[in-house]
Amino acid sequence: MSQQIAVTRQTFDDVMVPNYAPAQMVPVRGEGSRMWDQEGREYVDFTGGIAVNALGHANPELVKVIEEQARKVWHIGNGYTNEPVLRLATALTQATFADKAFFCNSGLEANEAALKLARRYAYDHAAERGGKEKSEIISFYNSFHGRSLFTVSVGGQAKYTEGFGPIPAGIMHLPYNDLETVRATISDATAAVIVEPVQGEGGVLPADPEFLKGLRELCDQHGALLIFDEVQTGVGRTGTLYAYEQYGVTPDILTTAKALGNGYPIGGILTTSKIAASFSPGTHGCTYGGNPLATAIAGRVLELINTAETLNGVKARHDHFVKGIEAINARHGVFDQVRGMGLLIGAVLKPAFAGRAKDIVVESEKNGLMLLVAGGDVVRFAPSLNIPFADIDAGLASLEKAVATVAATAKAA
């Protein structure tokens, strides 16, 4: 019956809570890195559903898994375990530093679990330090860790907690990539340091290798846990299964989500047996977490992404993108810098074009390209990891038209 209701973009303004400002077109179908809207207009998709659809839209291998698992069992609750979740946890622990996995439905839930686990771990080991309080969390300005009250408070953008107080206590924010400030601030009262290896929402800003290495040493000195939020950087996005591998720095807890389900909601944390022990039965939980449908899909996603072919393909596409963006920039001179890792790329606008990233996205849409921002001054590219090179070229041609329009209006203004 609900299929009969006629809907348009206007319906969004009529019946949806206005916490988003979606594009004017309404996508109805996707295939690989192409999408079509209600009017049948075609787009190249450089958004990847915000770094989620790592294997493209309607991936036939994943459609098959969904169909097969949907006929067996979708959900049973955590009073029972299931085969797909056990296979996924085995695959993830074999592929990473971790011994144990916990599953939930989203990035924020993964970070919420990681932060709770870190505090609980400090609490459980209080006797070893004479019962001294250890609950502080160190995080970084411009970081993004999700929108629950705890994770948004840990995140480093004050505007996202405005009006939602009182916010949880014991959270400190420090400048990203500034090891000396961390050294001066961290103490034996610090339970955890949480950091994105590449700040995604905060502007596609990679961590300096020395920064992450230094955080590891400082955490070890003070008995604090190092949490890597790899919700955006994980599952192949940077050209390795997780970004920590390229940095050569191993976290105590890693959070993952976004690409793990290719759009089917799933999140998780990976950690060691010693730390995992602090989540004993009853301490934490998640009704849908680890359900067989989500974990069957994620298991196949992981198999398809964690191959030399896919991961090397990410690196090749990175180079192709950067060359293409730099060629556009050579003609239009709008970007100061192109940065990022793998297929998480940010083009930083020159000061003369400050605040115009959204304008480029809007113009791109008119030219058949779906694109992202990361803040007001950075155009973000997070396409599927298997985007065909021809689609990259087609999308970049649309981007050039959008950039030319915005550059012209900026000069006119």
Q: Which stretch in 229-237, 304-312, 332-340, 394-402 sits in contact with ligand PLP by CB under 6 A?
A: 229-237
Name the minimum Å distance from CB 352 to ligand PLP.
29
Comparing CB distances to ligand PLP, the nearer of 229 and 377 is: 229
C-alpha–C-alpha distance, residues 350 and 374, integer Å: 15
Reference 7, options 46, 50, 22, 52; nearest CA is 22
Query: Environment class of residue 223 by beta-carbon count within 10 Å: exposed (0-12), middle (13-18) or buried (19+)?
Result: middle
Q: How many residues bind ligand PLP (CB under 6 A)?
A: 15
Name the minimum Å distance from CB 229 to ligand PLP.
5
Q: Please compute Rg for the chain using Cα positions.
A: 22
Per-residue contact track with ligand PLP, 84 to 123, x per CB under 6 A? ----------------------xxx--x------------
Three-class secondary structure of residue 321 per DSSP: helix
The residues, any chain, with a CB within 8 Å of residue 385's CB and separated by 6 or more, are 54, 55, 236, 237, 259, 305, 310, 313, 314, 317, 342, 343
Determine contact, residues 284/45, Cβ cutoff 8 Å: no
Comparing CB distances to ligand PLP, the nearer of 268 and 395 is: 268
C-alpha–C-alpha distance, residues 118 and 137, integer Å: 9
Kindly identify the residues of this chain, within the stretch 174-203, that bind ligand PLP according to CB under 6 A: 196, 200-201
Name the minimum Å distance from CB 231 to ligand PLP.
4
Q: Which stretch in 139-147, 238-246, 314-322, 331-339 sits in contact with ligand PLP by CB under 6 A?
A: 139-147
Comparing CB distances to ligand PLP, the nearer of 115 and 406 is: 115
Please report whether residue 261 would count as binding ligand PLP according to CB under 6 A: no
By CB under 6 A, name the one of 146, 156, 313, 375 that touches ligand PLP.
Answer: 146
By CB under 6 A, name the one of 37, 45, 136, 229 that touches ligand PLP.
Answer: 229
Kindly identify the residues of this chain, within the stretch 269-288, that bind ligand PLP according to CB under 6 A: none
Name the minimum Å distance from CB 38 to ligand PLP.
26
Comparing CB distances to ligand PLP, the nearer of 194 and 403 is: 194
Residue 112 known to bind ligand: no
Comparing CB distances to ligand PLP, the nearer of 224 and 257 is: 257
- 22 preceded by a cis bond (ω within 30 of 0): no
What helix, strand, coil percent values describe the chain, rounded to 5? 45, 20, 40
C-alpha–C-alpha distance, residues 118 and 37, integer Å: 44
Please report whether residue 293 would count as binding ligand PLP according to CB under 6 A: no
Name the minimum Å distance from CB 184 to ligand PLP.
26
C-alpha–C-alpha distance, residues 214 and 195, integer Å: 12
Name the minimum Å distance from CB 219 to ligand PLP.
19
Three-class secondary structure of residue 411 per DSSP: helix
Torsion angle of the four alpha carbons 14, 371, 266, 273, in this order, in degrees rounded to the nearest 10: -140
C-alpha–C-alpha distance, residues 220 and 213, integer Å: 11
Q: Which stretch in 67-75, 85-93, 226-234, 373-381 sits in contact with ligand PLP by CB under 6 A?
A: 226-234
Residue 381 known to bind ligand: no
Three-class secondary structure of residue 43 per DSSP: strand
Determine contact, residues 360/371, Cβ cutoff 8 Å: yes
Please report whether residue 231 would count as binding ligand PLP according to CB under 6 A: yes
Q: Which stretch in 31-39, 225-233, 314-322, 394-402 sits in contact with ligand PLP by CB under 6 A?
A: 225-233
C-alpha–C-alpha distance, residues 141 and 288, integer Å: 32
Checking 391-396 for CB contacts under 8 A at 24+ apart, the result is: 391/32, 391/33, 391/34, 391/44, 392/317, 392/320, 392/321, 392/324, 393/324, 394/44, 395/44, 395/46, 395/369, 396/321, 396/324, 396/325, 396/328
Please report whether residue 144 would count as binding ligand PLP according to CB under 6 A: yes
Residue 287 known to bind ligand: yes
By CB under 6 A, name the one of 257, 328, 382, 387 that touches ligand PLP.
Answer: 257
Please report whether residue 375 would count as binding ligand PLP according to CB under 6 A: no
What the block records as the tokens of 363 is 């113009």
Annotated binding site, which residues? Answer: 144, 147, 229-232, 287
Annotated binding site for N(2)-acetyl-L-ornithine: 147
Q: What residues line the site for ligand PLP (CB under 6 A)? A: 106-108, 111, 144-146, 196, 200-201, 229, 231-232, 257-258
Annotated binding site for pyridoxal 5'-phosphate: 144, 229-232, 287
